[in-house]
Amino acid sequence: MSEKKNLLTVEGMTKKALLPILGLPSIKVLNRKLKPYEKLIGKKHGWYYDCKQVELIISLLGVKKVIDSDEVDSTEKQNSAIQKRIAAFEKDHK
């Protein structure tokens, strides 16, 4: 038997489209959570964040649903480049 996985397609998204993924109630709350990371994330392209920005936002703020600890370990290995970039940013801005 195969285990059913919840997959998320990362694409260019507006702030409004990010809300249900992140489990946030409003754009105002999202803005408050993104404020410390504005320089790291970069500017939107029109109304949209591009794929890399969306991936970074999700890795910074997390998704709405709880995932298995096994998946967290494999995700951390895959996102090591993102984690290094975040660590360097936080080091520079302390």
For 1-42, the pLDDT digits (tens) are 456 666 677 788 999 999 988 989 999 999 999 999 999 999
24 within some domain: yes
7 within some domain: no
The residue with tokens 């507006």 is 14
Distance (Å, rounded) from C-alpha 69 to C-alpha 18?
24
Position 77 scores a pLDDT of: 59
The residue with tokens 């520079």 is 92
Domain of residue 83 covers 15-92
3 within some domain: no
49 within some domain: yes
Number of domains composing the chain: 1
10 within some domain: no
86 within some domain: yes
The residue with tokens 């059913």 is 4
More confident residue, 8 or 44: 44
75 within some domain: yes
5 within some domain: no
